[in-house]
């Protein structure tokens, strides 16, 4: 249930600090990378690592990236989220990494089964993450970049399936409630 407060907080941050996020993006990427590494290394020792190692914070960033694409163009929220969509997607991927590595280590140690619907979206998002950096994106044609970025929808579907499979109440209900407006808004936008 911590996901909803994170989403609300990150939405407010996008509304009031979007310009700062864009200007300071490299510093943010480095800072969040350090945080992600520390979270993974200290995963069983400190309570602050829980939201990162469980994927709550990373998912919150990616949810807003996903949701931004479903919003009607022109609204203040849409403009705000779209203006930092690239930064939020990069940070979201960075912050999902401790979650993915934690479960991979547990699988390799024989402590859990392999989470196909968890690892597949991470693998799909890897090239999306790499090509989100402007230094890489500039080397691609706009058409090729857009075509590649459409794979994000497959990742979103797989993440939703993953969450439905692994989440327990009340988190299961939270994820269903989060995905319903996205699906409705996205379909409405695509069909109009």
The confidence score (pLDDT) of residue 76 equals: 93
Asked if the structure places residue 125 within a domain, the reply is yes
The confidence score (pLDDT) of residue 23 equals: 97
Asked if the structure places residue 16 within a domain, the reply is no
Cα–Cα separations (whole angstroms), residue 143 to 33, 37, 60, 84: 30, 34, 28, 21
The span from the CA of 30 to the CA of 142, in Å, is 27
Its domain, for residue 149, covers: 25-191
Asked if the structure places residue 126 within a domain, the reply is yes
Whether cis (ω within 30° of 0) applies to the bond prior to 130 is no
CB atoms within 10 A of CB 147: 11
> What DSSP state is assigned to residue 24?
T
The span from the CA of 145 to the CA of 128, in Å, is 9
Asked if the structure places residue 4 within a domain, the reply is no
The confidence score (pLDDT) of residue 173 equals: 93
The confidence score (pLDDT) of residue 146 equals: 94
CB atoms within 10 A of CB 114: 10
Asked if the structure places residue 43 within a domain, the reply is yes
Contacts of the segment 40-45: beta carbons below 8 A, 24+ positions apart: 40/97, 40/98, 40/101, 40/102, 43/98, 43/102
| Domain count of the fold of the chain | 1
Asked if the structure places residue 49 within a domain, the reply is yes
Rg (CA), the chain: 16
Asked if the structure places residue 181 within a domain, the reply is yes
What is the end-to-end Cα distance of the chain in Å, rounded?
A: 33
Structure tokens at 170: 């009340």
Q: What is the pTM of this model?
A: 0.94
In tens digits, the chain (192 residues) has pLDDT values of 789 999 999 999 999 999 999 999 999 999 999 999 999 999 877 888 889 999 999 999 999 999 999 998 888 999 999 999 999 999 999 999 999 999 899 999 999 998 899 999 999 999 999 999 999 999 999 999 999 999 999 999 999 999 999 988 888 999 999 999 999 999 988 888
Asked if the structure places residue 173 within a domain, the reply is yes
* CATH, residue 172: 1.20.120
- Assign residue 110 a region (left: φ > 0; alpha: ψ between -120 and 50; beta: otherwise): left
The confidence score (pLDDT) of residue 6 equals: 97
């Amino acid at each position: 249930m911590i996901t909803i407060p994170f989403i609300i907080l990150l939405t407010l941050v996008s509304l009031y600090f979007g310009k700062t996020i864009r200007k300071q993006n490299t510093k943010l990427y480095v800072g969040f990378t350090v945080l992600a590494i520390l979270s993974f290394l200290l995963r069983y020792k400190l309570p602050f690592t829980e939201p990162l190692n469980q994927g709550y914070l990373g998912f919150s960033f990616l949810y807003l990236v996903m949701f931004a694409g479903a919003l009607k163009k022109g609204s203040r929220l849409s403009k705000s989220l779209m203006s930092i969509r690239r930064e939020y997607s990069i940070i979201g991927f960075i912050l999902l990494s401790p979650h993915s590595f934690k479960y991979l280590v547990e699988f390799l140690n024989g402590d859990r089964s392999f989470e196909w619907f968890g690892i597949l979206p991470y693998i799909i998002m890897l090239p999306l993450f790499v090509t989100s950096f402007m230094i890489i994106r500039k080397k691609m044609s706009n058409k090729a970049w857009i075509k590649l970025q459409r794979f994000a929808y497959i990742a979103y579907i797989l993440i939703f399936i993953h969450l439905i499979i692994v989440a327990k109440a009340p988190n299961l209900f939270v994820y269903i409630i989060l995905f319903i407006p996205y699906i409705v808004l996205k379909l409405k936008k695509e069909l109009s």
